[in-house]
Amino acid sequence: MGTVMHPLQCVAASIAFMLWLAVDANSAQAAEPLEYSVKAAYLAKFPFYVDWPPLAFSSPTSPIVLCVVGEDPFGPLLEEATHDQQSQWRPLVVRRIKTLSRDSGCHVAYVGADSVRFDLLKGSPVLVVTDTQGGNGVINFVLRDNRVRFTVDDDTAAQHGLGISSKLLNVALAVKPRGPR
Amino acid sequence: MGPKTRSCVPHGVELCAGASRHRVRPWRLSLVTGAVLQAISPAAGAADSAESVASRSPASLARLSIEELSEIEISSVSKRPERLADAAASVYVITREDIRRCGATTLPEVLRLAPNLQVARSSSNGYAISARGFNDDNANKLLVMIDGRTVYTPLHSGVFWDVQDVFIGDIERIEVVSGPGGTLWGANAVNGVINVITLSAKDTVGTLAAAIAGSQERGLAARHGVALGDDGAVRVYAKSFRFDHHKRANGTDINDAWNREQAGFRADWGKASNWTLQGDIYQGDAQALSRPQRNTSGANLIARWSREYEDKSGLQFQAYFDTYKRRQEGFFTEDLDTIDIDAQHHFQLGSAHEIVWGGGMREQRDKTSAAASFAFSPAESKLTLANLFAQDTWTIQPRTKLTLGLKLEDNSYTGLEYQPNVRIAWKPDGQALLWAAVSRAVRTPSRLDRGLLVFAPPGAPSLLGGPDFKSERLTAYELGYRGQPRSDLSYSVSTFVHVYDRLRSVEPNGSGNFVLGNGVRARTEGIEAWGGYQVHEGWRVNAGLLLQHQSFSFAPDSQATGTASGNSNDPKHQFTLRSSWSLPRDMSLDLALRSVAALPSPAVPGYTTLDAQLAWPIRKNLELSFSGFNLLGRHAEFGAAPARAEYERSFALRLLWAL
């Protein structure tokens, strides 16, 4: 008869095995395509929850321009996501640009991981969306618990004349509130 | 074990408590940073559609609501993909929004929000808290965890509620499971589990300060969090409060005032792997009725690492150290040190099986001293607890999941115990879930059961712990239904039959003394029900109901006499009704009505009471709230008359300041 393993030893052996798994396991971290599909869907939705000042548009039916600044991680995803979207009576159009400035004509600007040169915008009403946690956009995508979430800087939004609806603020992971006027 | 992996409830999904849709304005959001997700989170339906959509074309995502988008798992490698909507158990989740709106400043008071818990205050600093009966000052059939750290004491398997605290504003959610915790939870999850989960430090960047001044309590608390690079953050907090004496029915002071100070920190960092390091330090002193002043102090440190892999598997390790001292000089002292390590691994087996397995070890060393009335033998002890568990969730067909689990637990007193459970969940559609479970749970002996010595005057009988005291056993049968027939209405109904044997009894030992034995059997049948209704955008109503019937008997081999009771003092029913209004100018008014039936022994009359809170944002980032407690007059909640405390009308002003 072999000796029966004491339960403590058994547990210790199991934990050692899992430690080995931890060391051994593959740690490749490829970007999930779904991540950018979800981000594209968000970008197509955000305009529903944002009020631009009237002067941001040349006419009541002129489109909301969604710009991808610099590197484009979306490919066709953004066009697919915005295809059937229309915010009130305005269509959504996607434009890809190299740098963002006040003359870019963008209403929404996705700037990826770059930090935003707000000095170039000079207060013009652009909903700047970054892809970094702690980014300085009005909306910053954050990966949390395996989900795409976002934070909102309502203070910066206010400084640029943007009104963010409470519904969007409710869904945000965190909100930097408007400062006192 | 870590709260995240053991959680049966994912972040942000919350069916039982309902998807409340309070209007939450920016100033308020800043006070509840990151919390609001729970308050407006989509319930089962949305989560379901989000799941099914994940496999469809990216374009179809555009048809989802923004809430639904926030619920999509982007790589489907969630540790525990089980959602509350899918959990085959009676689970209630207390959300941040609930906590913010109830005005409670201590953990036990916050727990009153869970309709499946019995919370009875026995003094200013003492609570009796249990689920499904067996409530007592030392209620011993509950597992309580704070961020993965188990806080019940091996002394009597109960929780000293006067030393359990967190920075209330940083609680992410509290999961309350009534019924056996099943395989995945730690030891002592017999009648229920309370899992307090605080926010990641990444969600608490900024400063939050709170001050409260009231007719019964005064306190200050502050937290400051900073980001550490792109993928990390750390916060520190400190709090201090004082509660005044309560009065007996005859108007005399009961001498139960207490003070408490606590400070702590939490750091979270990492992208591919998540690291958490957190700790607390505290001290308190409490007047204790006619006994010597009680001084408590303690500290804890937790380290946790977790990682998810591409193949839908994941690993988590956690280790913690906890030390505390409980001193009532001349009456009783206890020093306890705990070291605990846990590991957990989950993976997919084929397309239909999801396996979770793991293990843990705990070592607890304590030192007790006692004076005239009672002691523990031996005065010092070293207890070990080890467990191994495995669970398979088998998707038999898309709508039906069968969960089989087994936990083996080895303890210093009774050796190996096994705790199996079988659960089945059927989703007839995305808005409903029918579940059933059969499980077995044990409460392993505590220090008290084996080594209690109650000294008696010469000639009178003594009471001793039972050297052969065995584990108390429960077989539980549960059946439940959760539904969300409309987007503004959700509810949950659970029924249970708990059959206990080998419960603690007091047996004559033949030499004129008494020993603790396992001579009581019991059966509890009950119903737990709750629901939430969004009357209109600014008004939500939540109701909860608990009905239970208990019967006790002595086992045939028991020599005990008198009435079998099994250390319990429970109401036959309790009822809660909460109304949350959003008023103009961002004010909010919350009312909470609570009705608890009489307790049998010691007898406590039934009571109905009302708490109210009016919150008002006086400036951006500055909220003033006015709370009234026990507005319907004074009542007692636990303990024997005439010595027990009664709780009278009290008021508090609170200021919350977010920077």
Chains A, B: CB pairs < 8 Å: 191
What is the tens place of the pLDDT at every residue in B512-533?
888 999 999 999 999 999 999 9
In this complex, which of A27, A148, A167 lies closest to B272 when CB atoms are compared?
Answer: A27
Please report the pLDDT score of residue A55 as a whole number: 81
What is the tens place of the pLDDT at every residue in A81-127?
887 666 556 788 899 888 888 888 889 999 887 666 777 777 788 99
Residue B23 has pLDDT above 60, yes or no: no
A129 touches chain B (CB under 8 A): no
Going by pLDDT thresholds of 50, 70 and 90, the confidence category of residue B165 is: very high
**Cα B542 to Cα B20: distance, rounded to the nearest angstrom:** 10
The CATH code that applies to domain A33-176 is 3.40.50
**Cα B245 to Cα B125: distance, rounded to the nearest angstrom:** 10
Bridge-partner residues for B397, per DSSP? B400
Mean of pLDDT values over B523-551: 93
Going by pLDDT thresholds of 50, 70 and 90, the confidence category of residue B120 is: very high
Please state whether beta strands B206-214 and B217-227 pair in parallel, antiparallel, or not at all (unpaired).
antiparallel
Please report the pLDDT score of residue B614 as a whole number: 95
CB contact under 8 A, B62 and A34: no
Residues of B in contact with A81 (CB under 8 A): 58-59, 61-62
Please report the pLDDT score of residue A28 as a whole number: 33
Higher confidence at residue B586 or residue B51?
B586
Residues of A in contact with B12 (CB under 8 A): 145, 147
Mean of pLDDT values over B255-282: 93
Alpha helices in A46-98 (DSSP H): 77-82
Single pTM value for the model: 0.76
Please report the pLDDT score of residue B585 as a whole number: 81
CB contact under 8 A, B315 and A133: no
> Which chain A residue has the Cα nearest residue B313?
A25
CB contact under 8 A, A8 and B203: no
Residue B258 has pLDDT above 70, yes or no: yes
A51 touches chain B (CB under 8 A): no
What six digits make up the tokens of B352? 């239909």
In this complex, which of A35, A175, A180 lies closest to B74 when CB atoms are compared?
Answer: A35
Q: In Å, how far is A68's CA from the nearest CA of chain B?
A: 18
What is the tens place of the pLDDT at every residue in B436-495?
999 999 999 999 999 888 887 777 788 889 999 999 999 999 999 998 887 788 899 999
Higher confidence at residue B439 or residue B42?
B439
Residue B642: asked if its preceding bond is cis (omega within 30°), the reply is yes
Q: Scan residues 106-125 of A and list those with Cβ closer than 8 Å to B.
A: none
A49 touches chain B (CB under 8 A): yes
Please report the pLDDT score of residue B75 as a whole number: 42
Please report the pLDDT score of residue B12 as a whole number: 29
Please check whether residue B446 is in contact with residue B414, taking contact to mean a CB–CB distance below 8 angstroms: no
Residue B10 has pLDDT above 50, yes or no: no
CB contact under 8 A, A146 and B77: yes
Mean of pLDDT values over B277-281: 98
CB contact under 8 A, B36 and A27: no
CB contact under 8 A, B29 and A169: yes
CB contact under 8 A, B77 and A172: no
CB contact under 8 A, B75 and A166: no
Please report the pLDDT score of residue B48 as a whole number: 33
**Cα A1 to Cα B648: distance, rounded to the nearest angstrom:** 68
A5 touches chain B (CB under 8 A): no
Q: What are the structural domains, with CATH classification, of chain B? A: 3-658 (2.40.170.20)
Q: Give the 3-state secondary structure of residue B468.
A: coil
Please report the pLDDT score of residue B651 as a whole number: 96
Mean of pLDDT values over B289-314: 87
Neighbours of B640 (CB within 10 A): 12
Provide block-wise average pLDDT over 10 residues at a time, chain A (181 residues): 58 68 44 74 89 83 87 83 69 86 87 73 86 84 83 89 87 81 48
Please report the pLDDT score of residue A104 as a whole number: 83
DSSP state of B90: E
Q: Give the 3-state secondary structure of residue B470.
A: coil
**Cα B594 to Cα B621: distance, rounded to the nearest angstrom:** 31
A4 touches chain B (CB under 8 A): no
Going by pLDDT thresholds of 50, 70 and 90, the confidence category of residue B81 is: very low
Please report the pLDDT score of residue B341 as a whole number: 96
A136 touches chain B (CB under 8 A): no
* For testing contact with chain B, the best of A9, A18, A32 (most B CBs within 10 A): A18
- Rounded mean pLDDT of chain B? 84
CB contact under 8 A, B11 and A37: no
In this complex, which of B24, B74, B619 lies closest to A32 when CB atoms are compared?
Answer: B74
Please report the pLDDT score of residue A22 as a whole number: 57
> Where do the structural domains in chain A lie, given as residue ranges?
33-176
Please check whether residue B407 is in contact with residue B398, taking contact to mean a CB–CB distance below 8 angstroms: no
Please report the pLDDT score of residue B387 as a whole number: 93
What is the tens place of the pLDDT at every residue in B398-425?
889 999 999 999 999 999 999 999 999 9
* For testing contact with chain A, the best of B61, B345, B346, B582 (most A CBs within 10 A): B61
